[in-house]
Structure 1
Amino acid sequence: MLTLILILLPLAAGIITLLSGAQLAKKIALVSGLAILATAVYAWLQFDPAAGTQFSYQYNWLSNGSILFSGGMDGISLVLVLLTTFLTPLIILSAFKHDYKNSPTFYALILFMESALVGVFTATDAFLFYLFFEAALIPVYFLAAVWGGEHRLKVTLKFFIYTIFGSLFMLVALVYLYFQTPGAHSSQISALYALELSAQAQGLIFWAFFIAFAIKMPLFPFHTWQPDTYTESPTPATMLLSGIMLKMGVYGLIRLLLPIVPDGLAQWGMVAMILSVIGIIYGSIIAIQQSDMKRLIAYSSFAHVGLMAAGVFSVSTNGLQGALIQMLAHGINVVGLFFIIDIIYQRTKTRYLDQLGGISQVSPQLSILFMILLLGSVALPLTNGFVGEFLLLSSVFHYDNWLGAVAGLTIILGSVYMLRLFQKSMFGPISKWVEGFQDLTLSEKAVLLPLVVMVFWIGIYPNTFLKITEPAVHQLLTLVK
């Protein structure tokens, strides 16, 4: 029942926020976000990793009970629910320094999206998964389209068309799978795992799932919506997109694609792996060339998700564990980096590296926290990024030595573009744009310090989270191999 509470709480809080006044809305949203986080932490403390799916709910929904409104949490679901509920109140707090027009709607949309994201990560019915998968798109679309930049309408329309188009492939595949189940049919994900499909059917379903999830992450060559959408969206929407929403695609690969179509994976897994590795290198090279800080982080996120996908397609314990721990690390790091870029932009009115410089001389606190998050992103040992990246590169190397060697270039390329970002903005003579730059406020520290704590927590004590996911990962791999 805790799972259902975690879905309904942000939904109810969003409705209350929507109906409240402008001054009250942000306070209600923040308190609600913290209450939801406390509920998720309570679920974590009660969770037994060896006991499988827990905190379940199940209600009849459609087709005389063959399609259920049902959900629950295993270890894989729980870590992503924790990520979602941890980041959401920080994203809400990060928006406090902005005076958004119609703020009750703005904060309500963030809470509605949190509800849909928790629904995605906990659904045990395939059609319910699809419902939440699409529902998560609606709030972020309006956040970007209403409060975004100058070109927001064109960019968000492209984003909406891309994601809806990809999801249609998944819907067709799910309908087909539903009618392949015996008897009265079932859309329970566990029932789809038990299907015995022909190799040809599995190949087609593989591509239907792959396209849907590759667009959402995104993977090469389905990524063209991402840089513009991240750049034009308001920073809280960019944080939601990069920190949490792209994880839906990686989660979909793990939860649906791998165990449902193992023969399809055997046929096409190498192609998917190659596309993932191309994305790592391509995204990194483009990131090096960027002068807009927000676009640089957007391309770095594209490169990171390519490595996560490569780990998933390695179909190994290290690959899946690495992808899961890297989803946590990436979500924490990228939300912190986008927030720091927003702080710099609000004080200087520019995001271009050639116009910045010398910030470390006027804002030492910002510089220190920026460096910690940056080092996590480049996978320095004892930071959160190192654990996932080590496991992922190990899994890709064992899958194919040459692909592992190419993917390993991400260590060098990532260091180049991230250290270039820090050097150009923080060091050198004080730019005219930086004159009068103020150090961090109390609310800004309240956002960044929890993220920094998590950088070291995951880096030093990764077993806190790896032990949660390990039994579920082993169980899932038995369905694939």
Structure 2
Amino acid sequence: MNVTILLLTLLIGALATYFSGKSAAKVALIVGVASFVECIFLICQQQQGVNVGFLAQWMNTPNIHIALNGDGLGLSLVLLTTLLTPLIILSSFESPIEKKNTFYALVLFMAFAMAGTFLASDGFLYYIFWELALIPIYFIALLWGNDTFEARKKAIIKFFIYTFAGSLFMLVAFIYLYQKAGSFLLQDLYDLNLTSREQYWIFIAFFLAYAIKIPIFPFHTWQASTYEKAPTVGTMLLSGIMLKMGLYSIIRWQIPIAPQAAKELMTTVIVLSLIGVVYGSFIALKQSNIKRFFAYSSLAHVGLIAAGTYSLTLDGMRGAVYQMLAHGFVIVALFFVAEIIFRRYETRLINEMGGIRQQAVKFASLFLILTFASVGLPGTFNFIGEFSLLFGLSQVNIWYAIIGGTSIILGAFYMLRMFQKSMLGETNSKPFADLTKIEGFVLGVLVIAILFLGVYPKPLTDLITPSLVEIMTQIK
């Protein structure tokens, strides 16, 4: 078995979901769970030394391959994708959704494109998957989003133009690299002997694409409005998985292809990333809408992850991968928390909440664990990621670690204040029912993953470290 089976499962599953009529939600969930089981099986095979990748010639002129790399780094992000996808689908079961077959087919197609991005090892194929992921989220956000059609259209078009424009710079870089290497294969691009000037422009071209997708300050202006206007499922896909495409690509593509430029521009990109940490934290403090609040909280966290990737240290990169996964679990759970509150109170304004803990102890307890995880409390997976990130940054410059560490202090302040306002205090006039079975299951699975990996991250460490060590050899 190789990774093509997993991709075909998601692609064929998307088509089957579209034609399944009223059973679309159940079919989509079955496909999502099947893809997760296949991913676990692939990881087990890969850890036993089996090559689960795939390589075949696609075109002779130009020289393009269907090349899929089944190493630990890629599979770890596919694991995130295939775990979150069925949970995201399940989380929407109690929400009113029109044209369910189209909606869930788009969700699965997006999962297919994102998984392909994490697995592709041919630049042309990678770019196709990268762009394909943009199509379904555009329609999900535009057609099923919040607010009026005109209001969300403005936000979604801005998001589309920003990300598509950034991707064009990356495409130009790939075309230039192909002219030098005669191939789009990742290893062939690694082996290129580029001049310092060439590396500089290649690095910048990739950076524009990734900085917008993540986003890194000051390329973040599309994020909050898009997260707010998109339906919760779309926001979960964007924040939980899609932004990881940019962070992953820094490690897989940008730095190993242009290592000298990465070293020369390290200070600039780390400073921009850390500005995002502080900026996102302070802007989060001013938010009254809980979805925008989580959006800026996410901006602060991914800024720290980006800083770790650009530290060019093994600990920094490993911490970045840890935190990609941890952030995916937590941010999806937090946006689901916001959706659960909206279902009961029909508001996303934090000041209109309150007293929920008195009525829904289970919900408030899980929310508190997620709040502690978000601020990196020891015992949670986020603590493992943040510690590794800061340790990697300290190897470059201790001040980077100190500034990055402010995310813990600021995060604790704004997250606990938000929890206090929404869960404690005076009770809202409307009753708040505790978690349903589906809501409890989705939040429970995510909390278990966060706590388990917070105590025992070794399986993930064993999975990703060999790939990162190999990438580090390209940098030195």
2:338 aligned with 1:341: yes
Alignment of 1:162-201 (within 5 A): 162-181=162-181, 185-201=182-198
TM-score, normalised on structure 1? 0.97
Secondary structure in 2 matching 1:331: helix
2:365 aligned with 1:368: yes
Q: Deviations over 1:210-269 (max 9, x none)?
A: 110010000001000000000000000000000000000001100011100011112212
Aligned twin of 1:282: 279
Q: Which whole-Å CA distance do the structure 1 matches of 2:7 and 2:305 have between them? A: 26
Secondary structure in 2 matching 1:100: coil
The 8 Å contact of residues 66 and 125 in structure 2, kept in 1 or not, is answered as yes
Gaps of 5+ in 2: none
Q: Deviations over 1:377-411 (max 9, x none)?
A: 11000101100000101111221122221111111
Deviation at 1:59, TM superposition (A): 2.3
Aligned twin of 1:2: 2
Aligned twin of 2:41: 42
Deviation at 1:65, TM superposition (A): 7.0
Which amino acid is 2:455 matched to?
Answer: I
Q: Deviations over 1:347-404 (max 9, x none)?
A: 0011111111100000001001111111111100010110000010111122112222
Q: Deviations over 1:396-450 (max 9, x none)?
A: 1221122221111111001011111110000001022xx2211100111121111
Aligned twin of 2:472: 477
2:410 aligned with 1:413: yes
Which amino acid is 1:335 matched to?
Answer: V
Alignment of 1:407-446 (within 5 A): 407-432=404-429, 435-446=430-441
Alignment of 1:71-110 (within 5 A): 71-110=68-107
Secondary structure in 2 matching 1:399: coil
Q: Which whole-Å CA distance do the structure 2 matches of 1:113 and 1:449 have between them? A: 25
Aligned twin of 1:313: 310
Q: Which whole-Å CA distance do the structure 1 matches of 2:97 and 2:383 have between them? A: 37
Q: Which whole-Å CA distance do the structure 1 matches of 2:175 and 2:473 have between them? A: 25
Across the two proteins, how many residue pairs are aligned to each other?
Answer: 473
Q: Which whole-Å CA distance do the structure 1 matches of 2:64 and 2:206 have between them? A: 20
Aligned twin of 2:29: 30
Secondary structure in 2 matching 1:379: coil
Deviation at 1:6, TM superposition (A): 1.1
Deviation at 1:35, TM superposition (A): 0.8
Q: Which whole-Å CA distance do the structure 2 matches of 1:221 and 1:59 have between them? A: 40
Q: Which whole-Å CA distance do the structure 2 matches of 1:17 and 1:471 have between them? A: 37
Q: Which whole-Å CA distance do the structure 1 matches of 2:434 and 2:426 have between them? A: 17
Aligned twin of 1:267: 264
Aligned twin of 1:153: 153
Q: Which whole-Å CA distance do the structure 1 matches of 2:162 and 2:405 have between them? A: 30
Alignment of 1:204-353 (within 5 A): 204-353=201-350
Deviation at 1:2, TM superposition (A): 2.1
Secondary structure in 1 matching 2:248: helix
Aligned twin of 1:468: 463
Q: Which whole-Å CA distance do the structure 1 matches of 2:195 and 2:98 have between them? A: 54
Q: Which whole-Å CA distance do the structure 1 matches of 2:226 and 2:337 have between them? A: 18
Q: Which whole-Å CA distance do the structure 1 matches of 2:269 and 2:426 have between them? A: 46
Secondary structure in 1 matching 2:215: coil
Which amino acid is 1:396 matched to?
Answer: L
Secondary structure in 1 matching 2:376: coil
Aligned twin of 1:20: 20
2:377 aligned with 1:380: yes
Q: Deviations over 1:262-321 (max 9, x none)?
A: 111122121011100100100011011111111110001111111011001111111010
Secondary structure in 2 matching 1:55: coil
Identity of aligned residues (%): 47
Deviation at 1:64, TM superposition (A): 3.9
Which amino acid is 1:455 matched to?
Answer: I
Aligned twin of 1:123: 120
Q: Deviations over 1:79-123 (max 9, x none)?
A: 101100000000000110112111100000000001001100000
Secondary structure in 2 matching 1:99: coil
394-403 vs 109-118, greater mean Cα deviation: 394-403
Which amino acid is 2:447 matched to?
Answer: V
Taking only aligned residues, the RMSD between alpha carbons, in angstroms, comes to: 1.1
Alignment of 1:130-141 (within 5 A): 130-141=127-138
- 4+ runs deviating over 3 angstroms: none
The 8 Å contact of residues 58 and 64 in structure 2, kept in 1 or not, is answered as yes
The 8 Å contact of residues 356 and 422 in structure 2, kept in 1 or not, is answered as yes
Q: Which whole-Å CA distance do the structure 2 matches of 1:161 and 1:429 have between them? A: 43
Secondary structure in 2 matching 1:96: coil
Q: Which whole-Å CA distance do the structure 1 matches of 2:110 and 2:128 have between them? A: 13
The 8 Å contact of residues 223 and 295 in structure 2, kept in 1 or not, is answered as yes
Q: Deviations over 1:187-209 (max 9, x none)?
A: 10010000001101111111000
Q: Which whole-Å CA distance do the structure 2 matches of 1:264 and 1:413 have between them? A: 32
